[in-house]
Amino acid sequence: MSTEHELTPSGYIGHHLSFNVKQVAEGGFWSVNFDSLSVSFFLGFIIFAFFWWVARGATAGVPGKRQAFIELLFEFIDDQVKGTFHGERHKFVAPAALTVFVWVFAMNAMDFLPIDIMAWIFHHVFGQEVFRAVPTSDINTTFALALSVWLLMIAFSIKVKGLGGWIHELFCAPFGANPLVWPFNLLFNLVEYVSKPLSHSMRLFGNMYAGEVIFLLIGMWAATGWSGTLFGALLGGVWAIFHILIVTLQAYIFMMLTVVYISMAHESH
């Protein structure tokens, strides 16, 4: 929390919802949200290094607790992918699903960190005036993920059906190959191609952003005195517990949609 400014509700919320923007070049686009980037990169690095460490020492015999936990996750993801994707899933889709699920879950889970304490730490330990710890409540992150999946989807579609097949599908699905319905087919497919990454990214972003805002609103109760602080703490706890469900569910949904989109691209009409 910034101490220089006067503490008003809108100031408090605005402060917590502004990104730590680093300008890299002229123009509105050429800047990065340092907080989203660093947190997501840090989480990804830590988690996947841990995974690598466990996977490297994985034994086919009796697994240790650490390996058993990773395997639990592995089997869970593998099961989900197996149910949706019909093809050689171990080459790409299943590991990609694991990446998505774990990374998104970790980034979502940053929501559990108490915002004001984290803000204090970021301010006083790392010297960052503003810092948002939840990368998935940054539309850039979710859109980057969704767009990557979107590109993968198109790439797989072309890889499976060939470029001609893909273009053929753009014009001839879902209504038929009659030249009269080509425009409708194309329009339909374009809408689908635009809506997929949008809904994919917005769903996650919206949930995480809303969760963060609710934490902020609950946090503001502390401004009303001791009873407000106590009640706010209780309510914050309840919301955090409920948020465990949201965090997991959103990560799961994001992963499942990723798998579904890619497997849809795999299946030709």
Partner 1 sequence: MNINLTLFSQALTFAILIWFTVKFVWPPLLAAVESRQKTIADGLAYAERAKHDLDLAAKRSADILREAKEKAGEIVAGGEKRGSEIIEQAKAQARVEGDRIIAGAKAELDKEVFRAREQLRTHVSAIALAGAGKILGREIDAKAHNDLLDKLVAEI
Q: What are the residues binding partner 1 (CB under 8 A)?
A: 21, 24, 28-33, 36-37, 40-41, 44, 48, 51-52, 54-56, 58-61, 63, 67, 70-71, 74-75, 90-92, 94-96, 98-99, 103, 135, 138-141, 143-145, 147-148
Residue 207 falls in the annotated catalytic set: yes
Of the candidates 2, 18, 189, 203, the residue annotated as catalytic is 203
Of the candidates 20, 36, 185, 207, the residue annotated as catalytic is 207
Report the alpha-carbon distance of residue 157 to residue 103 in Å, rounded: 25
Least distance between partner 1 and beta carbon 222 (Å): 26
Least distance between partner 1 and beta carbon 131 (Å): 14
The nearer residue to partner 1, 36 or 185, going by C-beta atoms, is 36
Least distance between partner 1 and beta carbon 253 (Å): 17
Identify the burial level of 183 via C-beta atoms within 10 angstroms of its C-beta, where 0-12 means exposed, 13-18 middle and 19 or more buried.
exposed
CA distances from 121 to 89, 118, 147, 163, 215 (A): 42, 5, 33, 52, 18
Least distance between partner 1 and beta carbon 137 (Å): 9
The nearer residue to partner 1, 152 or 218, going by C-beta atoms, is 152
Show the tokens assigned to 242: 């409920």
The nearer residue to partner 1, 10 or 59, going by C-beta atoms, is 59
Q: Count the Cβ atoms, other than its own, within 10 Å of residue 13.
A: 16
Report the alpha-carbon distance of residue 61 to residue 118 in Å, rounded: 42
Of the candidates 199, 227, 263, 268, the residue annotated as catalytic is 199
Helix (H) or strand (E) holding 33: strand 31-33
The nearer residue to partner 1, 96 or 133, going by C-beta atoms, is 96
Identify the burial level of 70 via C-beta atoms within 10 angstroms of its C-beta, where 0-12 means exposed, 13-18 middle and 19 or more buried.
buried
Residue type, 169: E
Least distance between partner 1 and beta carbon 21 (Å): 8
Residue 140 falls in the annotated catalytic set: no
Whether a cis peptide bond, with omega within 30° of 0, leads into 179 is: no
- Give the contacts of 267 (CB within 8 A, at least 6 positions apart): 86
Residue 199 falls in the annotated catalytic set: yes
- Name the residues annotated as catalytic: 199, 203, 207
